[in-house]
A and B are shown apart, each in its own frame.
Chain A
C-alpha cells in the first residue's frame, strides 16, 4: 500500500512536469512577443527588455523550466507581472472559490445521480427508469457552459430567484452559498445523468452476479442485499471515474466562472492569459493539474480501500 501510494505520487509529479513543459513550449509557439504585446506599440526597447527579464523570457527554455520547478517545490511560483504580488498568494485567493464550486457541483451530482442509478437498476424498465434514461442522455449531451448560460438567463435574469453574478459577500457564508447554487447546478447537471447511467449499468451487472444470488438464497433482506452486497461493488467503477471526472468538472467550473463572473481559477486564467501574464498563468495551470492529479490519486486509493482484491495486489 505504501509502495503503491509512493508510486502514484511519483506519477503525479511526472504528470505535472510534463504538463508544465508543454505549457512553456507553447509560450514560444504562440505568435507575438509577449512583452511588446503587453506594453503596446509605444513601448521603448528598454521597457520591453525589462519586462522580458521580469517574465523570465530572456533565459533559455530549459533554464526557465528549471527555475520554475526549483522555485515551485519551495512554494514559490514567481511574481505576477502586473501587480508584482506572489503568484502563490493570488492562486490561494482564487482556488477556494473554484474548489467550492467544483465540490458543490460534484456533490449534488453524486447525491442525486447514485441513488437515481440504483433506483433505475432495481426498477429496471419501469416508467421512472425510462424517464431518467431520457433525461440523463439529454443532460449528458448538453455542454455545461450552455447550461450555465441558460440557468443565468432563466433563474437569475428572468425569474430573479438567484443572484446573477459574483460569489457573494466575503465572510457571509449564507450569501456565498446562495451565489453557489446556480453555477453548481449548471456544472453538476450533466454529471447527474452520467453517474445515474454508470451506476445503473454496473448495478445491473452486479445484481446478475452469482454472489448476489447467494445472498438472496439465504433470504437476506433486500435493502441489505442492495446496499451492502451489490452497491459496494457497483460503486467501484464510479469512484474510479469520479477521479477523472474532476478534470471535466474543473473545466466546467472555468466556464461557469466566466458566465457568472465568479472569482476563481477559471476567471483568473482567462483574464491573465489575455494579458500574457505568464507567471500567473503557469502557476495557475500547475496548481490545477496538481488538483486534478490529487483527485485521481484519492480516487485510486479509495478504490483500493473499498476493494480488498485491489488492495492485495498492491
Chain B
C-alpha cells in the first residue's frame, strides 16, 4: 500500500518541550494517505491532530522535538531533507488550510499579493497570475473577485477568509491537500457554507486530501478512510464504512453512541464522552483510554495495546480487539519504525 501512498507517516513520535516538562504529543503514530483518497483524522482537542499534520510538512513550532519515525511525502522523507528541498516541496506537493482564517492570512498584504506570491514558481506574467487567482476566488464563491483581490484579509468575513485560504491551497494544485479543522473557527452558517464548498470541490480536486475535523458526519461523507486519534496515539483506523458501522475501539464506540444520527447528521462538535483527557506530560502506563473506558479490565492498566489490523486495513489499539477481529494478519506492522534515530527539528 505504501507505494501508492502520497503520504506515509510511520512510527512518528513528537514531544513538545515546555517549562512544565515534555508534552508527549504523538506516540508512535502511523498514517497513510493513499493516492487519490480522502483520509479523515478525528480526535478530541489536544489529541495531537494538528501536531500530526504539521509534522507532515515539517511545520512544527521550534519547541517540538521529533523523537523518531518517518514522514514520507511522495517518496521522500520530509523529516530528513534539506531546508531547500523542503521548501521546494511545500506548496508544490502539499499545502495546508489552517484552522483559524482570522490569523492564517497576512494582515498587511492584500490577498491578491498573497495569492500571486504563492505562484512564485511559475514563470508567467503577474497579470496572468492575478487572473488565475481571480478565477480560483470565483470558484470558491467570492463575488467580484477581480476587485476583491485588492482587499486585505480584515475586509472579509471569517467564512470568506476561509474560502480564500482554500482557494490559495487549490491554486497550487498540490498532490496532497491538508486541512486542519477548516470549519471549527466559523459560526454555524459559515460552517455550513464551507462544508457545502468542500463537497463541491472534492469532486473537482483530483489530489489526495488529509482532512482533520470534529464533524463526524462530514468525515463520513467526504472521507474514504478515518483515523481516530486518542491522546497522541492512533486508537482506531479503517475505511469509513467499516469504522462507522463496526467500530472496534471502545473510544470510537463511545463517540458514535453519543452521535445518535451517526453518519447522517452533521454535528458541529465532537461528541463529549465522560472523563478527562489524559495529561500528556506523563507517558501513560497501559492504555491511555483506560481511565475512561467502560470495558476496562486489569490488563489495560498494565500493558499498552498495539494496533492490530485485519486484511481490510481496519485496526484498533485495544486488548479486546484480537478477539473480535478476523484472524487474518494485518497488512503492515502497526509499530516498528518508531524506534528510529531521533531527528532534530530543523528551523526553516
Contact = CB atoms under 8 A, between A and B. Distances in A.
Interface of A: 208-211, 213-222, 224, 228-229, 232-233, 306-309, 312
A220 B120 contact: yes
B157 interface: no
B133 interface: no
B95 A217 contact: yes
Contacts of A214: 96, 98, 104-106, 165
Contacts of A233: 106-108
B7 to A, nearest CB: 14
A307 B88 CA distance: 30
B106 A229 contact: yes
* A interface: dominant SS: helix
B109 to A, nearest CB: 7
Contacts of A308: 107-108, 152, 154
B91 A306 contact: no
A119 to B, nearest CB: 14
Contact of B98 (A210, A219, A224): A210
A291 B137 CA distance: 47
B96 A221 contact: no
B104 A218 contact: no
Given A211-B106, A217-B90, A218-B90, 4 more contacts: A219-B87, A220-B118, A232-B108, A312-B152
Contacts of B120: 220-221, 224
Contact of A219 (B91, B105, B107, B165): B91
B114 to A, nearest CB: 8
Contacts, number: 81
A254 to B, nearest CB: 37
B153 to A, nearest CB: 8
Interface string B43-81: 000000000000001010100000000000000000000
Most buried by A among B103, B106, B165, B172: B106
B152 A211 contact: no
A98 to B, nearest CB: 34
22 contacts: A209-B103, A210-B98, A211-B103, A213-B59, A213-B98, A214-B104, A217-B90, A217-B95, A218-B95, A218-B117, A218-B168, A219-B91, A220-B91, A220-B118, A229-B106, A232-B106, A232-B108, A306-B108, A308-B108, A308-B152, A309-B107, A312-B152
Contacts of A217: 57, 59, 90-91, 95-96, 98
Most buried by B among A229, A306, A307: A229
Most buried by B among A210, A213, A219, A309: A219
B327 interface: no
